[in-house]
Homo-oligomer: A and B are copies of this chain.
């Protein structure tokens, strides 16, 4: 946990502890190496060139991103190996932008429909470097992705239009569960779905080099052999959801929002100057409020407006004073990072650096 918070910063602000950050990055890099996974972290969780650089230096193979503009932002920052893990739908403008990226860097793109594959083939056929394609599989989240048995059909269309199909990927969103068993089950679903889909591609005599899975919760649960690439995002910082489901401890929290007590209307209630425009309103079923307060672990943020967090204390608890600056751990870190221009890097209570949010708002 970032402590102590620095004096004199304008709140609300997002504050990063670089030692915890580096420890989280190393730990995931080492675990991946030990278990034989290529690590390709999802950069949507930090959107920061400085943090991407730390991940790559620790041994990440490249970055994962969600959109073409997120890829463009990291290419401008010097990253040269990117996977857009998203079934990008290409109109004329996006086709041109994707083609330009493919000319510049090593690029992988997701597909999950025959029509999507055809558009991709039209866009990047003949680019300076071949774009590599991964078929997205639904392993139980019911978001995008084809069922494992349908992977072959999409892969065949992609190969027929001249794309280089190198594997399959999935996102096990249903792995966010309160108990470890749910995460194990999601990891098993993920392995089974990816394995069946990879088999379908091999039957087409495709060379399946990449079998890629998500996520911070399921990362530790895989059995050797089934999956060979890992795309976690949140692990760099962790957040109140990871804390609630038990995939991290308080000492692994590398980012907090610093907020000032602006009102103490009652002994059991106070108000912070941080709201949904910094914390976001994501709220999984496993958290107790709109963020976690390490100094008041029994308190809950019961009301959140754009610039107010109303905190309720348990009866008899002693609250903070007007003007106190407190740390709030966001529920879901991917949202707050996208709501600020910079992250304050704090060591021993001093702001030692400011990292711009390089890929802020890259939605298209």
Q: Is the CB of A260 within 8 A of B66?
A: no
Interface residues of A in 54-78 (CB under 8 A from B): 66-67
Answer whether A340 and B323 are a contact pair too, CB < 8 Å, given A10-B94, A87-B262. Answer: no
Least Cβ–Cβ distance between A98 and chain B, in angstroms? 12
Interface string of A151-165 (1 = CB under 8 A from B): 000000000000000
Contact partners of A138 in chain B: CB under 8 A: 265
Stretch at the interface among A112-120, A127-135, A202-210, A248-256: A112-120
With A and B bound together, what is the CA distance between A306 and B44 in angstroms? Answer: 9
Question: Copies of this chain, how many?
Answer: 2
Contact partners of A305 in chain B: CB under 8 A: 143, 173
Q: Is the CB of A143 within 8 A of B310?
A: yes
Contact partners of A273 in chain B: CB under 8 A: 89
A12 within 8 A of B: yes
Contact partners of A228 in chain B: CB under 8 A: none
With A and B bound together, what is the CA distance between A271 and B94 in angstroms? Answer: 18
Contact partners of A10 in chain B: CB under 8 A: 91, 93-94, 364
Answer whether A363 and B339 are a contact pair too, CB < 8 Å, given A262-B144, A322-B113. Answer: yes
Q: Within the complex, which residue of B11, B269, B364 is in contact with A12, where a contact is CB–CB below 8 Å?
A: B364
Answer whether A87 and B335 are a contact pair too, CB < 8 Å, given A10-B94, A282-B281. Answer: no
Contact partners of A173 in chain B: CB under 8 A: 305
Chain A, interface SS category? loop
With A and B bound together, what is the CA distance between A87 and B12 in angstroms? Answer: 14
| Number of interface residues, chain A, beta carbon within 8 A | 60
Q: Is the CB of B339 within 8 A of A338?
A: yes
Q: Within the complex, which residue of B94, B263, B276 is in contact with A282, where a contact is CB–CB below 8 Å?
A: B276
Q: Which residue of B lies closest to A308 (CB)?
A: B143
With A and B bound together, what is the CA distance between A305 and B265 in angstroms? Answer: 36
Interface string of A77-100 (1 = CB under 8 A from B): 000000000111101111000000
Q: Is the CB of B308 within 8 A of A144?
A: yes
In the complex, 14 of the A-B residue pairs with CB atoms within 8 angstroms, ordered by the A residue number, are A8-B93, A66-B306, A87-B263, A91-B260, A113-B263, A116-B322, A138-B265, A142-B269, A144-B308, A146-B265, A276-B335, A280-B281, A281-B282, A339-B361
